[in-house]
Chain A
Amino acid sequence: MGRGSVKRLWCLGLCLCFLTGCGGDRGESATIFAMDTVMELTAYGDQAQEAVNAAVAEVNRLDAALASRRETSDIAKANHAGGAPVEVRADTAELLEQALALCADTGGALDVTIYPIMRAWGFDTKEYRVPTQGELDSLLERVDYGTITIKGNTLTVPAGMELDLGAVGKGYAADRVVRLWREMGVTSGLLNLGGNIHCLGAKPDGSDWTVGIRDPREETATLCTVTGQDMAVVTSGAYQRYFEKDGVTYHHNMDPATGRPAHSGAASVSVIGPSGLVCDGLSTALFVMGAEKAADYWRSHRDFDMVYYTQDGALWYTSGLEGRLEPRDGLEGRVLT
């Protein structure tokens, strides 16, 4: 066999390897239970295992710092300090600054002091009940994000008020993991933190990620898919936590103005953007606002995208998703401009 033949064989062999995927990117995953939900963390590349291990440690560390129900957490300490200032970790302070800014920017549709109301309805213990209007009116006096102060790493929660970061904690955790992975040189990864999706970079083959958005009425069906890279996709829906009493369904997306489940006409709201925390907080706030105010909010910001599905079965999405959003068969979406 001549030298030319050997060369040809090498070329053909290499082609075979490429075609069959020899040396493809390695992916590693971990499934953990943290922040009251199940999380799946997947990283790709040579450092995948180290990246996943580091991500698990980071999420568990944040959970310990942020969980309002853990007595040793920063948040529980501040909640129980009787109004005295409490020193918190730098990342707790960072999260609170971002969360309080979002509360203000949404005009209080997101309020991180809603916890007394959530507890009155039994969403903390799952011992559900319908509070009286008098009880809610009294508790609403203890709901006001504007009374919380964070200066440097010093957090003050006035006596009687309570912080809970359930509406933004998972989004912030995703931001932290993505930041950590970037520092480690990881270029491709996928986080599913209890339905909060965060895609780092592109898929290992360089293509866009495809994220489905759940149909609120059917748990194994999707309303649409959204493609992209380096994006968070977070959804708030009336179906996620709810209970029924006397034929009435009560969901967990509380309107801070009334202390009752928001009756905004939304069945689910998904927010797509670069920041997990912003997407997390906005999905709650835009759900509470209702379609008209949510559209106004988007028009005045335009630094995120939104998929709005109404209880009437109408699907709206913002213009940044044109060409990236594919409604499921039989469902027509309308573009918001």
Chain B
Amino acid sequence: MSKRRFLTPLEAALLVCLALVVWLLLPRQAGAQVVVTRGGEELGRYALDVPTQVSIQGANGFSLTLVVEDGQAHVEDSTCPDLICQHHAPVDKTGESIICLPGQVSITVEGGGDLDQDAVSG
């Protein structure tokens, strides 16, 4: 008496199709990018693997220049009085952000390398 195989060829083919459908439906993470918002409103998204320079008009008349190069984003210059954004180290990991409080601009990395924490206090 022959042993019943776990899967017949037809079942195996169906399973492969099912796996393919599930894989296609999975939420997919885009390449790393920075999301720029002003006052919480999204202004644009810029891929970290595409070198670019963006002039951002912030709130209260302040403006800043975002530069993407070498897979990282940083603020090249800003007209705000604090210059905290300008002095901030380049960011490239998911969840890292550069904030310009006077201009109400946030620049946040999405889809980059994972940080090993959910949030940072400080």
At the interface with chain B, which of A79-87, A106-114, A232-240? A232-240
- Contact between A197 and B99, CB atoms less than 8 A apart: no
- Contact between B116 and A30, CB atoms less than 8 A apart: no
The docked-state distance in angstroms from the alpha carbon of A13 to that of B120 is 38
- Residues on the A chain within 8 Å of B118, using CB: 190, 199, 203, 209-211
Q: Which of B25, B81, B99, B116 is A38 in contact with, Cβ under 8 Å?
A: B99
- Contact between B37 and A31, CB atoms less than 8 A apart: yes
Number of A-B contacts (CB under 8 A): 102
The docked-state distance in angstroms from the alpha carbon of A145 to that of B17 is 70
- Contact between B40 and A214, CB atoms less than 8 A apart: no
The docked-state distance in angstroms from the alpha carbon of A126 to that of B82 is 9
Q: What is the CB-to-nearest-CB distance from B43 to chain A, in angstroms, rounded to a whole number?
A: 12
Most buried by A among B91, B96, B116, B121: B121
- Residues on the B chain within 8 Å of A197, using CB: 119-121
- Residues on the B chain within 8 Å of A5, using CB: 8, 11
- Contact between B121 and A9, CB atoms less than 8 A apart: no
CB contact list, A228-246 vs B, under 8 A: 233-235, 237, 240
Residue of B nearest to A233 (CB): B121
Query: Is the CB of B56 closer than 8 A to any CB of chain A?
Result: no
The docked-state distance in angstroms from the alpha carbon of A19 to that of B119 is 26
Query: Is the CB of A12 closer than 8 A to any CB of chain B?
Result: yes
What does the 1/0 interface line of A27-70 toward B look like (CB < 8 Å)? Answer: 00011110011100000000000000000000000000000000
Q: What is the CB-to-nearest-CB distance from B44 to chain A, in angstroms, rounded to a whole number?
A: 14
Q: Evaluate whether A1 and B122 lie within 8 angstroms (CB atoms) in the complex, with A38-B99, A212-B117 already known.
A: no
- Contact between A20 and B122, CB atoms less than 8 A apart: no
- Contact between A211 and B120, CB atoms less than 8 A apart: yes
The docked-state distance in angstroms from the alpha carbon of A156 to that of B79 is 41
Q: What is the CB-to-nearest-CB distance from B64 to chain A, in angstroms, rounded to a whole number?
A: 14
The docked-state distance in angstroms from the alpha carbon of A284 to that of B101 is 22
CB contact list, B52-73 vs A, under 8 A: 59
What does the 1/0 interface line of A201-229 toward B look like (CB < 8 Å)? Answer: 00100000111111010011010010000
Q: Which of A20, A32, A33, A190 is B22 in contact with, Cβ under 8 Å?
A: A20
A-B contact pairs, 21 of them (CB 8 A): A5-B8, A5-B11, A8-B6, A20-B23, A31-B40, A31-B108, A33-B40, A126-B82, A195-B120, A195-B122, A209-B118, A211-B118, A211-B121, A212-B117, A213-B122, A219-B88, A219-B89, A220-B96, A222-B117, A233-B119, A235-B121
